[in-house]
Chains A and B, each alone.
Chain A
Amino acid sequence: MQAISLFRKTSHQESGFYALFLTNRIQMLYYMIVMPSALVQPYMLLAIVAMGIASQFCLYMLSKWFVTPYPAQGYQGFERLFGKTGIKILALVSLPLLLLKFSFISVSYADIMQKFVFPSMDREWHIVFPFILSCYLALFGMENMVRFVTVVFFGTIWIFFLYIPFFSVQSNSIHDLYPLIPIGPEPFAWKSLLLVFSSLSGPEFLIAISYWLNPQRKMLKYLTIANAISVGEYLFISIASLLFYGSKYLPTIKYPNVEMGRYLQSPIFERVDIILISAYMFSFLYSIALFVLMIYGASRLLGKTKTSTTRIGLIVSGCVAMAVTIPISKWFWEPGLEQAVWLDLQMWAGSATYLLFPLLIWIAIKRKARTTS
């Protein structure tokens, strides 16, 4: 039995593709499912583009971090940048954010699963089964996980192509996409801008795993491509759902993407949504596993970093995350009010981290550069 080291690194393959795939999959994680029903007005499509540009700005700051020598040094790199206490504070701040993201994604996904696949099954089961499997995934260690993203990407990207038929549905008409500019009677929904930005958030967590990404100079190119793909997918799905439902019917539907999946028929399967949701689980599981590893990593930064990593430690930190998630699902996830609170909370938290973390890193690098030169 070889020694377990969850955070070791052996490969030095220089490839920006992992960053590309990771960024794209994390951006396609949850909000894309609810987004179309929040962006009901056709002119909101412009909001997606605008937020895509804003997200590009964050990614630009992020790419500045990747060209510095710090990420290749792993923990030492962070230590040199922030100092020992600085890291501890960072870990302490990011831990609740990670836990929030973990819980929110788990419960929301379980909610969809329960609504469409097994309405009679308890929601907690839908949290627990994927969790067990994601722990199994996480046990392979960070290096395996990072390169597994390729499989995840190719295992889920095909879902996107299933929405193509919606552009040729009989009841569609181009008039559902009008007006293109915000002149309707409703006030402009600023909150939906936040929603889009928050759904584009996630790549800031690449900072934590930059050590395994073997960053290189051209990182911005890959991040940009990933961002562009995500924005493209958002637009594609939003347009498809607008065409399919029309802007009046759309807001009444909670998960338009999934409902559209339900409308699909193939000669062998109907209710394609069951397959879609299950296949979507792939990228969901992956990100859960990634977050479990990050939670473990962050909690190790708070405690002793010198001891070697153990499987038990990982499982325990996973169970802690579970211990947060299950009560939320059981007692604080009443439809309507509480759910909306969680949605808002995650929206603000996601947007804030996406804006602040790259900014913080950027400032730290600038300051360091000034003090050393």
Chain B
Amino acid sequence: MKCIFRTTIVLLSTSMIMLVCGCDLLPENNMIEEITPIIFWSVQGGGEEDGKITISTLVPPLIKEKKRVLSLKVSLLNEGNKGFNLTYYNELKAGQIRLLFVDEAYAKRGLTRLINTVLTDPNISQRLYLVITKGNFNEFLAKHLGETDNIDYYLYRMFKHYEKKKQGEITVVNLHQFMKMLYSQVSDPQLPVFRAEGEQFLYEGTAFFDRDSMVTEIRGKDDQIIQLLYRDRFVRYLVLPDLAVTLGHIRARTRKKLTPDLSSLSIEIDVKGRIDELNSLARIEDNFQYAALTRKIERYLEENVIRLLSQMQKLQIDPLQIGELTAKPFSKPITRATWDRHWSTMKINVKVRLHLEPLTKVK
């Protein structure tokens, strides 16, 4: 009898709770075979007067089936997302988005709105890689629709590979890093730039931002040199065509120092590596010539670093996070305006020290 009484009470209270909370427990269906977890979005346009953007993605991802490119002209990012659902038989889910390709033209007008949309979605990971694209990205996608051609997946693996060991081969920036740089008091973000060309997707260099809008980019050799300026990077090859020399396996250690009155910046770079390629070995027959070459490379690097930095000074951007050196344990943090004023007129001294492994086995 008591047992029945108890059961009734439990059942009653359960049904009361059900009534209060509403019956459908989980209205969202995430069943893995019924959804299409897309891996990237690509955003283009924004230049027209109606402010519309073109958003596209590749479906179905990760399955050995014929792919197709979904592309929509919309004014809001999630409008595109909804539009995709209406055109495709599976529901597209954003929880596995790993890459966000943004067209150069769009990036030049500012990324804030796009990134805010991505940030507010609780499903999207902070490890989303941001990439600036040039050329016609959709055309590039259209060339990779084969059953076994998981171009989206392979692109993701590429970024993940270079991110893992902080390799300086290409610039890799994820959403969190971008946001941290964006919010930083005195520094500016940067993103990698790729060019879509037919079937190819080529790494071009690094784009520099002034706050959230892209202002310039550096390419090739310059990009490689800039990689040396970050804290503790590994660069596989540093090709210096002007000197007809390639350095390899480079570990760079950089120390930056600001004078207290912010009038000058001194950068010391210790570069450890070896000569991988040289047009003529005759140039380093003896130690003197070897030392001469080393000095030549050092000077060349110094000149280039100064040139690149002065370019940044001119644009009043600080992608190398030099501004954060102004933070001191017991002093007032400075404002952006103060920093910009000092930065644009700052005197820069660069000292490169090259520690090359001696060449052996060569003839």
Which A residue sits closest to B14, measured CB to CB?
A: A132
**Could you tell me the distance in whole angstroms from the C-beta of A114 to the nearest C-beta in chain B?**
9
- Pick the residue among A128, A175, A185 that contacts B327 (CB under 8 A): A175
Q: Tell whether, in the assembled complex, residue B28 and residue A120 are in contact, meaning their CB atoms are under 8 Å apart.
A: yes
Secondary structure of the B side of the interface? Answer: loop
A185 to B336, CA, bound (A): 13
Q: Is B123 an interface residue (CB 8 A)?
A: yes
A115 to B122, CA, bound (A): 7
Q: Tell whether, in the assembled complex, residue A120 and residue B27 are in contact, meaning their CB atoms are under 8 Å apart.
A: yes
- Pick the residue among B179, B181, B329 that contacts A179 (CB under 8 A): B329
- Pick the residue among A175, A181, A259, A315 that contacts B9 (CB under 8 A): A315
Q: Is B126 an interface residue (CB 8 A)?
A: yes
Given known pairs A179-B331, A249-B183, A312-B9, the reply for A121 and B26 (CB within 8 Å) is yes
Q: Is A278 an interface residue (CB 8 A)?
A: no
Q: Which of A76-84, A226-234, A262-270, A352-360 contacts B (4 or more CB under 8 A)?
A: A262-270
Kindly list chain A residues whose C-beta atoms are within 8 Å of the C-beta of B324.
173, 175-176
Q: Is B363 an interface residue (CB 8 A)?
A: no
Kindly list chain B residues whose C-beta atoms are within 8 Å of the C-beta of A248.
183-185
Task: Please tell me the size bucket of the interface on B.
Answer: 35 or more
Which B residue sits closest to A116, measured CB to CB?
A: B122
- Pick the residue among B125, B181, B328, B332 that contacts A185 (CB under 8 A): B332
Inter-chain CB contacts under 8 Å: number: 94
Which B residue sits closest to A123, measured CB to CB?
A: B21
- Pick the residue among A121, A179, A322 that contacts B332 (CB under 8 A): A179
Q: Tell whether, in the assembled complex, residue A265 and residue B184 are in contact, meaning their CB atoms are under 8 Å apart.
A: no
Q: Tell whether, in the assembled complex, residue B183 and residue A180 are in contact, meaning their CB atoms are under 8 Å apart.
A: no
Secondary structure of the A side of the interface? Answer: helix
Which A residue sits closest to B5, measured CB to CB?
A: A312
- Pick the residue among A118, A173, A180, A246 that contacts B329 (CB under 8 A): A180
Kindly list chain A residues whose C-beta atoms are within 8 Å of the C-beta of B184.
246, 248-249
Q: Tell whether, in the assembled complex, residue A179 and residue B327 are in contact, meaning their CB atoms are under 8 Å apart.
A: yes
Q: Tell whether, in the assembled complex, residue B126 and residue A183 are in contact, meaning their CB atoms are under 8 Å apart.
A: no
**Could you tell me the distance in whole angstroms from the C-beta of B9 to the nearest C-beta in chain A?**
7
Kindly list chain A residues whose C-beta atoms are within 8 Å of the C-beta of B321.
173
Which B residue sits closest to A252, measured CB to CB?
A: B183
Kindly list chain A residues whose C-beta atoms are within 8 Å of the C-beta of B127.
263, 265, 270
Q: Is B220 an interface residue (CB 8 A)?
A: no
Most B CB contacts (10 A, CB to CB) among A181, A184, A248, A326 go to: A248
Q: Is B47 an interface residue (CB 8 A)?
A: no
Most A CB contacts (10 A, CB to CB) among B22, B182, B184 go to: B184
Which B residue sits closest to A41, measured CB to CB?
A: B333
Q: Is B325 an interface residue (CB 8 A)?
A: yes
Q: Is A119 an interface residue (CB 8 A)?
A: yes
A312 to B333, CA, bound (A): 60
Q: Tell whether, in the assembled complex, residue B166 and residue A170 are in contact, meaning their CB atoms are under 8 Å apart.
A: yes
- Pick the residue among A119, A181, A246, A311 that contacts B122 (CB under 8 A): A119
A184 to B328, CA, bound (A): 11
- Pick the residue among B17, B25, B328 that contacts A178 (CB under 8 A): B328
A302 to B106, CA, bound (A): 67
Q: Tell whether, in the assembled complex, residue B183 and residue A246 are in contact, meaning their CB atoms are under 8 Å apart.
A: yes
Given known pairs A170-B166, A184-B333, the reply for A319 and B13 (CB within 8 Å) is yes
Interface bits A6-29 vs B (CB < 8 Å: 1, else 0): 000000000000000000000000
List 9 tightest A-B contacts by C-beta distance, closest first: A249-B183, A120-B28, A178-B327, A124-B21, A175-B327, A175-B324, A248-B183, A180-B329, A183-B332
**B interface residue numbers (CB < 8 A to A):** 6, 9, 13, 17, 20-22, 25-28, 122-123, 125-127, 166, 176-177, 179-185, 231, 321, 324-325, 327-333
**A interface residue numbers (CB < 8 A to B):** 115-116, 118-122, 124-125, 128, 170-171, 173, 175-176, 178-181, 183-185, 244-246, 248-249, 252, 259, 262-263, 265, 270-271, 311-312, 315, 319, 322, 326, 330
